């Protein structure tokens, strides 16, 4: 079956409970501030709800043969209100667009979680395996660079930089994030699978790095609903144990232009808008 025929299929709705244990595990796995997110889920928790339905699409028997190579290229989220701990929302996802370019397929997968959040993921799928990467040794399971939790800060004036924030993740941390988010792609925990996908070894989840960007933006807005929207582009992978940092610049109207960078390379970039 041509993969394009899967466009418009509906996955879900499935109930997703933002219970205390799930939210606490996600906050801990992303290095967020636990004292801030006792009664509400952080904005980045949207990644866990995306992965309540995205695996059903990627594992669909008509889709799975086209996922020998899989890249998450873009992601956007819009938040409409706070999400209280203990609340249950219905999550559903739909591939709204599937475009073929030779062996590649560009997929737009839209997700909605009740009235809390809606988003759009960009996936690049291929039925052909990627060329194997040039393997590198894996770091020690607990090796990690400096990792700073987000601290409250006033919103910078337009044109001013946001305070930098050092971030890093260990291989142990990637396993914890996989459990907390539901993103069990083996390139994040299995060396051979990562090399077979064209990587030098395991890599940090893109949405884990996106959570660092969300934290960097949310620290400038108090309360349980700090972000109105965020658009993310995944550019390059980050190896576990490697040092990275979040930097950015304030724009007009509460807009922040942010990036995760390591060794002079931009890995993930984002535009976030804080709530008034």
Domain architecture of the chain: domains with CATH: 3-274 (3.10.129.10)
Return the bridge partners of 272, or none: 230, 256
Residue 130 is predicted with a pLDDT of: 83
CA-based Rg of the chain, rounded to a whole angstrom? 18
CA distance linking residue 207 with residue 232, whole number of Å:
9
The pLDDT tens digits of the residues spanning 66-114 come to: 998 999 999 999 999 999 999 999 999 999 999 998 889 999 999 999 9
The mean pLDDT of 179-201, rounded to a whole number, is: 95
Residue 191 is predicted with a pLDDT of: 96
Residue 2 is predicted with a pLDDT of: 84
The pLDDT tens digits of the residues spanning 2-54 come to: 899 999 999 999 999 999 999 999 999 999 999 999 999 999 999 999 999 99
**pLDDT range class, residue 276, cuts 50, 70, 90:** confident
The mean pLDDT of 264-271, rounded to a whole number, is: 97
Return mean pLDDT, the chain: 96
The mean pLDDT of 198-209, rounded to a whole number, is: 97
State if pTM tops 0.75.
yes
Question: What are the phi and psi torsion angles at 153 (to 5°)?
Answer: -150, 145
Residue 226 is predicted with a pLDDT of: 98
Question: What are the phi and psi torsion angles at 265 (to 5°)?
Answer: -105, 135
Residue 139 is predicted with a pLDDT of: 98
Contact (CB, 8 A) for 173 and 240: yes
Over 80: is that where the pLDDT of 178 sits? yes
The pLDDT tens digits of the residues spanning 101-148 come to: 888 999 999 999 999 999 999 999 998 888 888 999 999 999 999 999
Residue 1 is predicted with a pLDDT of: 72
Residue 132 is predicted with a pLDDT of: 82
- Residue 113: C-alpha distances to residues 12, 40, 166 (Å): 10, 15, 31
């Amino acid at each position: 079956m041509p993969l394009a025929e899967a466009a418009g299929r509906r996955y879900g709705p499935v109930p997703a409970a933002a219970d205390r244990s799930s939210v606490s595990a996600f906050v801990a796995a992303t290095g967020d501030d636990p004292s801030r997110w006792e009664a509400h889920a952080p904005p980045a928790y949207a990644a866990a709800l995306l992965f309540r339905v995205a695996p059903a699409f990627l594992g669909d028997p008509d889709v799975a043969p086209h996922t020998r190579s899989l890249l998450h290229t873009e992601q956007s989220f819009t938040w409409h209100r706070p999400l209280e701990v203990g609340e249950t929302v219905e999550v559903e996802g739909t591939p709204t667009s599937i475009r073929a370019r030779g062996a590649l397929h560009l997929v737009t997968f839209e997700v909605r979680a009740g009235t809390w959040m809606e988003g759009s993921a960009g996936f690049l799928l291929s039925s052909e395996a990627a060329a194997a990467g040039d393997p590198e040794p894996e770091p020690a399971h607990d090796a990690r660079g400096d990792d700073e939790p987000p601290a409250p800060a006033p919103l910078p004036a337009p044109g001013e930089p946001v305070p930098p924030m050092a971030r890093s993740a260990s291989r142990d941390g990637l396993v914890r994030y996989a459990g907390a988010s539901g993103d069990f792609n083996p390139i994040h925990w299995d060396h051979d699978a990562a090399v077979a996908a064209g990587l030098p070894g395991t890599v940090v989840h893109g949405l884990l790095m996106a959570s660092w960007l969300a934290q960097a933006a949310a620290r400038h807005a108090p309360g349980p609903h700090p972000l109105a929207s965020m658009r993310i582009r995944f550019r390059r992978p980050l190896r576990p144990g490697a040092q990275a940092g979040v930097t950015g610049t304030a724009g007009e109207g509460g807009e922040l232009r942010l990036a995760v960078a390591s060794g002079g390379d931009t890995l993930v970039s984002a535009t976030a808008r804080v709530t008034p």
